[in-house]
Chain A
């Protein structure tokens, strides 16, 4: 966008200067361009007024798109460049814009026409960056998973909240009070929910071993069925299918605050000794965390919702911050596949950091190369 504008202005200046020396400068510069990386459903019209508002208070555009009747559009001359997206709907539509200047005495002056046919591209080149990075990522994952499978030990540092899980479960058993596990309040579309379900498995296995009462209130109908499966398999793996009941994971309610109302109500009544709040949370995070504290439960929380982290940090005993939630699922399962991806993720992060630092250094010297090549947010 920016470079495009600068280009046009430069281009305009280049052409204006010599012309201005000979005769009058054009009243405005304008150009119709194909919008890159789309399916041709839109083209762009860039308009740079050159005349002063006193001289030409308004411009009149006659816009013809395909077979549609010609539309008239008035542009007030505020001395600013104007960017107009024109909707063509599909590729292959001819577009023509004729510009007239409305002079201060009300007379019209034709400034010429610009036209083109809308074009669609097959690939959004901007998204290719994500695609290439994805391929790199896949390669890294395959490499490290292979290493992990061969038995190479992949180091993962300790994650503070996780150490506490065993103690917290043991405490619930000693006190003879139940364990609550809230797998977030979002749907399967959220990665945090998946990470939470991953941690649910070892927790459920432990709970089954200790024969502690267990409760998994859920907000989303699909998550309910997955959570039921996870808990069921965990109970079987622990050798206690007799303790399993489909009612362990249940749908408490379907809206944000009715869910938190129902769950805090059950916490008040059943007085759990340990409460897990892992997954995606919204404003209800603090309601759940504070109610858990009121009944004297140990709270182990974790979320990737950065807006809710302050509340978990303040109200809970242990908090997994952001990424730690994802790492935790790998850490707890000790599965080579998951450990390998964690390693790959770190390498990728390192590369990104490197790119980032390079961009900063280049930028310091006024070179936009890295910035414009790798870090353009235009899509």
Chain B
């Protein structure tokens, strides 16, 4: 029951996953299965929230110096949840507007700013990595610099633009394609291993 049944379930549902794609008549069933996966997955949310809560509760219990911030997380989480749920049952209410504003003016700018940090990280990564240590690093460096030039080229530098187009069209496509094919085989192999029950790491641990 502890090990055999999960493996059997993985096998059965693995076959279903294959069948819904190669038997056209099961196309309607695919939607049912996708709904199933969404439903099943939604309950895992409880595990996630409890793990997060535990993490921050430990901080608070141990009187960690950042415990104030753990309270911030709890308060905003509950606040979002409450206004969101009330807003769901009372559309067009103040709660829903507040929820919308929290999304648009708290979540969105935080998201965008975190994303925008990449502008700086990519600079320092380039500074550190693009050094002609070995011939490989030199190739990386040259390709990177040429493309960066090409993207803002003007006047006499337009040649960089053409080189960029070529670099993207030929070597980059070739490298990415080779990688993708290999990765595809790896995915197929691992998936077969899971369906056959050879790969069991997802059940937590070895034998």
Contacts and interface: CB of A to CB of B under 8 A. Distances in A.
Interface string A172-195: 000000000000000110010011
Nearest to A250: B55
Interface stretch (A60-68, A77-85, A101-109, A336-344): A336-344
Question: Chain A at the B interface: mostly helix, strand, loop or mixed?
Answer: helix
A304 interface: yes
B54 interface: yes
Contacts of A41: 27
B1 interface: no
A141 B199 CA distance: 12
A39 B24 contact: yes
Contacts of B206: 201, 233, 237
A247 B124 contact: no
Output the residue of B45, B115, B205 with the most chain A CB within 10 A: B205
A100 interface: no
A40 B24 CA distance: 8
A225 interface: yes
A232 B205 CA distance: 8
Interface string B49-87: 101101100100000001000000000000000000000
Nearest to A303: B183
A286 B52 contact: no
B167 to A, nearest CB: 13
A330 B44 CA distance: 29
B121 A287 contact: yes
A254 B48 contact: yes
A227 B201 CA distance: 10
Interface string B35-46: 000000100111
Contacts, number: 203
B55 A247 contact: yes
Question: Chain B at the A interface: mostly helix, strand, loop or mixed?
Answer: helix
* Size bin of chain B's contact surface: 35 or more
B186 A323 contact: yes
Interface stretch (A4-12, A24-32, A120-128, A158-166): A120-128
A84 to B, nearest CB: 20
B163 to A, nearest CB: 18
A259 to B, nearest CB: 10
Output the residue of B23, B111, B125, B176 with the most chain A CB within 10 A: B125
Contacts of B125: 286, 289-290, 293, 311, 314-315
A299 to B, nearest CB: 11
B31 to A, nearest CB: 12
The 10 closest A-B CB pairs, nearest first, are A229-B204, A221-B48, A233-B205, A127-B22, A314-B129, A257-B114, A290-B121, A39-B24, A221-B44, A251-B51
25 contacts: A38-B24, A120-B25, A122-B23, A137-B192, A141-B196, A221-B44, A224-B48, A225-B47, A229-B204, A230-B201, A250-B52, A251-B51, A251-B52, A261-B110, A287-B118, A290-B125, A293-B125, A293-B128, A314-B128, A322-B179, A323-B183, A345-B189, A348-B189, A349-B182, A352-B185
